[in-house]
């Protein structure tokens, strides 16, 4: 009679032994040891990775240009709107822009940035104060657009976080097309 011996072996005395629990325990120990060594090396590296980070939009924008804050408050944006002191750029898709936007804002959708950049920004001097916005607290389109504009040489770019929602809730001037 043939027995299935796939998970058993005989020890020196000929007794069958089961090594699976032992192998699983060893694998777990090796994994924990490797994780501990990795964390230890990370701790002592000068450029180690942070184990806990702040991934909010505010933190991402603060780290984009460490010498200045790229965010603008609703109050500041409103004051600049009233005196026409800034160009507002809606980073949402054209479809959402047509449904409603900050009055006088131009539409430069982030997903179509390269194709539409010249048409939308061709007449805007590099030193113009620009406020980008999108909709929703976790929307990163305005941040991405602001960073792209900085990369194109614009020096005064700010982001109105959750801009469209805040603007509507405050009953500030809007437009539709």
16-29 pLDDT, tens digit per residue, is 566 778 788 889 89
Q: What is the pLDDT of residues 56-74, one digit of tens each?
A: 666 656 555 555 678 999 9
Look at residue 125 in the predicted model and tell me its pLDDT.
96
Whether 108 shows a pLDDT value over 90: the answer reads yes
Residues found in the chain: 177
The whole domain housing 85 covers: 57-175
Exposed e or buried b per residue across 107-117, where buried means at least 16 C-beta atoms within 10 angstroms of its C-beta:
bbbbeebeeee
Contacts of 99 (CB under 8 A, 6+ apart): 176
Nearest CA to 144 out of 61, 59, 56, 58 is that of 61
Q: Are residues 163 and 98 in the same domain?
A: yes
Structure tokens at 116: 């539409």
- The kind and range of the H/E element at 160 are strand 156-160
Indicate if 34 and 69 belong to the same structural domain. no
Count of structural domains, the chain: 2
pTM value is 0.66
Residue tagged 């777990």 (tokens): 28
Q: In CATH, what number is assigned to the domain containing residue 97?
A: 3.40.250.10
């Amino acid at each position: 009679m043939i027995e299935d011996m796939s998970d058993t072996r005989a020890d020196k005395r000929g007794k069958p032994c089961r090594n699976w629990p032992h192998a699983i325990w060893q694998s777990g120990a090796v994994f924990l040891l490797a994780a501990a060594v990795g964390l230890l090396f990370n701790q002592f590296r000068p450029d180690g990775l942070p184990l806990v980070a702040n991934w909010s939009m505010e933190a991402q924008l603060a780290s984009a240009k460490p010498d200045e804050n790229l965010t603008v408050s609703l109050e500041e944006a409103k004051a600049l709107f009233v005196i026409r002191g800034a160009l507002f750029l809606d980073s949402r898709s054209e479809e959402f822009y047509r449904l409603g936007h900050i009055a006088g804002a131009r539409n430069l959708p982030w997903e179509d940035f390269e194709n539409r950049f010249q048409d939308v920004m061709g007449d805007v001097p590099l030193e113009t104060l620009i406020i980008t916005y999108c909709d929703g607290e976790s929307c990163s389109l305005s941040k991405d657009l602001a960073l792209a504009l900085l990369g194109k040489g614009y020096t005064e770019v700010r982001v109105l976080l959750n801009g469209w929602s805040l603007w509507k809730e405050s009953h500030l001037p809007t437009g539709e097309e």
